[in-house]
Amino acid sequence: MTTAKPKLAMYWAASCGGCEISLANIHEAILEVDSHFDFMFCPCLLDTKKADIEALPDKAIALTLFNGALRTTENLEMAELLRRKSQIFVAFGSCSATGGIPALANHHGLHHLLDTVFQTAPALDNADNIIPQVTTAVPEGDLLLPALLPQVLAVHQAVTVDYSMPGCPPEPEQIVAVVRHIASGAALPEAGGLLGCTDRAVCDECPREKRGILTKRLLRPCQAIPEAGWCLLEQGHLCLGNSTRGGCLALCPTVNMHCTGCYGPLDQTSDCGAAALSAMAAAVHPGDTVGKDEAVVQNQLRSALSGVADPLGTFYRYSLAETVTNCRPEVER
């Protein structure tokens, strides 16, 4: 007699699809996943319908990997549905865990976003000035679209999340390790904790040599080719490895790319961007300022920091939904 395997679901909300690609990148280990779980819901790969999920008893799904942030009412509805139907609900990837790149939109009101996307973007072709509406009447009846939420939310800001798996996307090796761990029935961290990462910084996993040198100025990636084997930050490249949680084995610095912080902040960090900014400031020495005129010092500082072309997108790339300063008043259409 065969025993039914526990059910596994994966869902994308406001997402780029990269988290599903990362799952696909586990290659033949997908057979191991299949041996442990009945992979029964994943709109990117399978044709299971929402109604099939609604028909399941509550807690019928053993494990849901929920990727993407919450941008629309549909995202929110699916998060609530899958939370109800799942024993273990994992916020999978930076967008889901901390709002990720979609949450950079929180810097603007909905009115501004819709105007930019549908009316003022330079490459736009929208002669009839059409802006999508929640309800559009056509001869056959009403067409419905999900409404935009006032702000992009990390999933834990709307439903209870058992665990978060950071990364943009989580690394395939970490996905396999987490699935194995859960399938084995081994003890899991305290509810609300993290899976698939370490509690050390990316710098601790990075093979590049730190020489104890402060950089005179921060650089844009296009401004210099980094010297091989030497810490990128000490060479002026905006590497956030010292304020970012490890688990990716320093993937980006290993291939000459600065860490952009996708595995999120280390423990005890209440504001990811502020922590990254502070770590970066500690790595720069803009030159001697003693006894110099204030205007000269300001110029020195401006020049040292001129490589930070987009401070918000640099320091809050994955975490704007969670920043303690996220209090912009919303402007409704």
Rule CB under 6 A: which residues touch ligand SF4?
15-16, 18-19, 67-68, 93-95, 100-101, 168-169, 202-203, 206, 208, 210, 231-233, 239, 241-242, 244, 248, 250-253, 259-263
Main-chain phi, psi angles of 252, to 5 degrees = -70, -55
Nearer to ligand SF4, 52 or 310 (CB): 310
What is the number of other CB atoms lying within 10 angstroms of the CB of residue 161? 22
Nearer to ligand SF4, 61 or 250 (CB): 250
Alpha carbons 305 and 314: distance in angstroms, whole number? 12
Omega cis (within 30) before 286: no
CB of 165 to ligand SF4, least distance (A): 10
CB of 262 to ligand SF4, least distance (A): 3
CB of 237 to ligand SF4, least distance (A): 7
Main-chain phi, psi angles of 273, to 5 degrees = -65, -40
Nearer to ligand SF4, 212 or 329 (CB): 212
CB of 79 to ligand SF4, least distance (A): 14
Three-state DSSP class for residue 155: helix
Alpha carbons 246 and 264: distance in angstroms, whole number? 9
Main-chain phi, psi angles of 100, to 5 degrees = 55, -160
Nearer to ligand SF4, 63 or 252 (CB): 252
Nearer to ligand SF4, 25 or 300 (CB): 25
Nearer to ligand SF4, 143 or 265 (CB): 265
Nearer to ligand SF4, 64 or 94 (CB): 94
Main-chain phi, psi angles of 14, to 5 degrees = -80, 95
What is the number of other CB atoms lying within 10 angstroms of the CB of residue 32? 14
- Residues 6+ positions from 188 with CB-CB distance below 8 Å: 88, 163, 181, 182, 195
The H or E element containing residue 184 is helix 172-184
* 204-211 contacts at long range (C-beta below 8 A, 24 or more positions apart): 204/246, 205/246, 205/248, 205/249, 205/250, 206/231, 206/241, 206/250, 206/253, 206/254, 207/250, 207/253, 207/254, 208/232, 208/250, 208/253, 210/234
CB of 25 to ligand SF4, least distance (A): 11
CB of 289 to ligand SF4, least distance (A): 24
CB of 232 to ligand SF4, least distance (A): 4
CB of 17 to ligand SF4, least distance (A): 6
Cα 167 to chain centroid, rounded: 6
Nearer to ligand SF4, 44 or 60 (CB): 44
* CA-atom Rg of the chain in angstroms: 23
